[in-house]
Amino acid sequence: MEYETIIGLEVHVQLNTKSKLFSNAPTEFGKLPNSQANYVDAALPGTLPVLNEDAVKKAITFGLAINAEINNDSYFERKNYFYPDLPKGYQISQFKKPIVGMGYLDINLDTPKKIEIVRAHLEEDAGKSLHSLYPNTTGIDLNRAGSPLLEIVTSPCINNADEAVAYLKALHELVKFIGICDGNMQEGSFRCDVNISLRPKGEQKLGVRTEIKNLNSFKFIKSAILYEQERHTELLESSQKITQETRLYNPDKNITLTMRSKEEEQDYRYFQDPDLLPIKINEALFIEIKNKLPPLPQEIRASLADEGIQEDAINLLLADKANYDFFIEISNHTKALTKDICNWMRALYNLTLNERKLSFQDSPINAATLAILLNRIMDKSLNNAQAKAVLAEMLNSHDSIDAIVKKLGFSESISENTLEEIITSLFEDNPKQVAELKGGKDKLLGFFVGQAMKKTKGKASPVEITRIIKTKLELK
C-alpha cells in the first residue's frame, strides 16, 4: 500500500519587542533567572495585563507580508492548564479570533507551491522549569514568561520533509527581514511544532496524527519528520494503532519519544479574558504599518535572480535586513553592476564581518565608502587587485581611501606615453611571442599584460594595457 504524508506546522516566533506582551519587564535572553520578570509575570494578586502596542504592530506587519486578512475585532482568551512554570494557571492567547487570518507563503522546490497559512495569533510564552539547578527541587525561571509570541499555523497542505523545511526557511527569512523577530533558533526565538499523519493514497479522511514539539533547527525538523513518517508507515503496515499524542525528538538518538497524550481543545476551557479589551486597529495605524513594510525577500530574490545573481550572493543579502540596506545604500552611490556590488560585499564579509560575527550594520567600512572604492574601479584609477589591497588596508589602518592609495603607491599614475614605451620595449624583447600573438595565439595577450603589470609595479590598469597592446598590434 502506498501512503501519503500530511503535515501541518505551527511556528512560535518570538517578537523582538523591548518589553513583554502584557508587562513592562524586559525580554533580554540569557540573564539571571527571574531578573527579567515582574509582578505581572509572576501573577501576583491585583496585577493586571496591559497590551504591548509594538507586539500588535509586529503581528499586523507579518499579516500584511503574507497577504493575510487582518482581523479588526480580535480578542484575547485564556487557555487554562496547570503547569508550575505558568503562574496564572492560564496562558493568555487567541483562539476564536486571531489577529491575523488566512494568508500564504510561496515555496519553490521543483515546482512552486503556495503554503496556506490559516492563522497567526498573539500569545504569551510560559516560564521555564529548572530541574538540574538544585537537588530534589525544581526551580522556576520566569524570564521567558509573558514574552510575546506570534504563533503561525499552516493548513495540513505540506506533503514531505523537504517542503516543510523550505517553508520554514522562507518563513524564518521573512520574519527576520521584516524586523519582527531576531530569528535566533538556539535561543528559541523561532521554534516549530510538526503535526504529521499518514493515509492511504487516494483516501480523503486524515489519519491519526502525532505532534512533535519544540524543534529548533532545520536539520532536526527534517530528521524528526523522516523518523515519524517511517514509524507511522511501520505501524500502519502491521495494522497497529497509532496513538494521538505529543512526542519529543531526541537528536542524539535521532528518534521521537512519547511526551504526553494530546489534550483536546475542551481541556483548555478557553474563554475571553475579561482583563483585556478587544484589539481595534484604526485606519491610520494600519496605513502607517503598510507604508513601512519593506520589499519582501521573495520579491527581491526573484528580481536579483533575473539579473543573474547567484543564490549564495542573494542569501547573503537577505540573511539580514541590514545586509540588504547596505546593498541599497551602495547602489545609491555607484553605477557599478549589481554583480560587482555583491562581489565586493562578499569580499568585505570574508575579510572581516564573518570572523567577527558582525552584520553589515556594524561594518567598520560603511556602504558609501565601499561605493567610492567601486567607483575608483569603474573610472579605472584602481584595478581590482589594487582595490582589494586598499580594502584590506582600510580595515587595518582606518585611513581614508586617498591616503591609502597614496601610501600603497597606487596614485602615481603612469602616463600613457610611459605605458606605450614599456609595451614597445616588451615587444622588442619578445619578438617570437609577438609573432605568435599576431598569428592568433590569444593566450599570449595575458603574458604581455602580466609583464607590463610587473614593469609598472601594478600601477597601470590591465584594461588600459590590453587596449594599448591591441591597438599597437592591430588585434581585434
Separation of alpha carbons 95 and 82, rounded Å: 18
Tracing cell 535572553 back to the chain, one arrives at 29
Output 272 or 451, the one with its CB closest to Mn ion: 272
Output 121 or 376, the one with its CB closest to Mn ion: 121
What binding mask, one character per residue, do residues 125-154 give for Mn ion by CB under 5 A, x or -? --------------------------x---
Least gap, CB of 79 to Mn ion (angstroms) = 8
User: Site residues for Mn ion, window 45-84 (CB under 5 A)?
Assistant: none
For the beta carbon of residue 11, count every other beta carbon within 10 angstroms: 23
Least gap, CB of 379 to Mn ion (angstroms) = 57
Separation of alpha carbons 446 and 466, rounded Å: 9
Quick check: 273 binds Mn ion (CB under 5 A)?
no
Beta bridge partners of 249: 256
Least gap, CB of 61 to Mn ion (angstroms) = 20
Q: Is 171 exposed, middle or buried (0-12, 13-18, 19+ CB in 10 A)?
A: buried
Task: Give me the long-range contacts of 175-178 (CB less than 8 A, separation at least 24).
Answer: 175/13, 175/62, 176/319, 176/320, 176/321, 177/294, 177/296, 177/297, 177/318, 177/320, 177/321, 177/324, 178/61, 178/62, 178/65, 178/293, 178/294, 178/296, 178/321
What binding mask, one character per residue, do residues 151-190 give for Mn ion by CB under 5 A, x or -? x---------------------------------------
Q: Determine the 3-state secondary structure of 260 from DSSP.
A: strand
Output 123 or 320, the one with its CB closest to Mn ion: 123
Least gap, CB of 244 to Mn ion (angstroms) = 18
Least gap, CB of 261 to Mn ion (angstroms) = 18
Output 39 or 83, the one with its CB closest to Mn ion: 83
φ, ψ of residue 62 to 5 degrees: the values are: -60, -45
Q: Are residues 304 and 295 in contact, defined by beta-carbon separation less than 8 angstroms? A: no
Residue 63 C-beta-side C-alpha neighbours within 13 Å: 25
φ, ψ of residue 117 to 5 degrees: the values are: -100, 115
Output 8 or 297, the one with its CB closest to Mn ion: 8
Q: Are residues 311 and 350 in contact, defined by beta-carbon separation less than 8 angstroms? A: no
Residue 172 C-beta-side C-alpha neighbours within 13 Å: 19
Least gap, CB of 146 to Mn ion (angstroms) = 14
- Residue of this chain nearest to Mn ion (CB atom): 151
Least gap, CB of 55 to Mn ion (angstroms) = 15
Q: How many residues of this chain interact with Mn ion, rule: CB under 5 A?
A: 1
Interacting residues of 351 by C-beta distance below 8 A, sequence separation 6+: 391, 392, 395
Least gap, CB of 224 to Mn ion (angstroms) = 18
Output 124 or 163, the one with its CB closest to Mn ion: 124
Output 121 or 455, the one with its CB closest to Mn ion: 121
Instruction: Look up residue 221 and give its three cell numbers.
Output: 525538523
Output 96 or 398, the one with its CB closest to Mn ion: 96
Buried b (16+ CB within 10 A) or exposed e, 365-385: bebebbbebbbbbeeeebbee
Name the amino acid, one letter, at 75.
Answer: Y
Least gap, CB of 197 to Mn ion (angstroms) = 20
Output 77 or 151, the one with its CB closest to Mn ion: 151
Binding site for Mn ion (CB under 5 A): 151
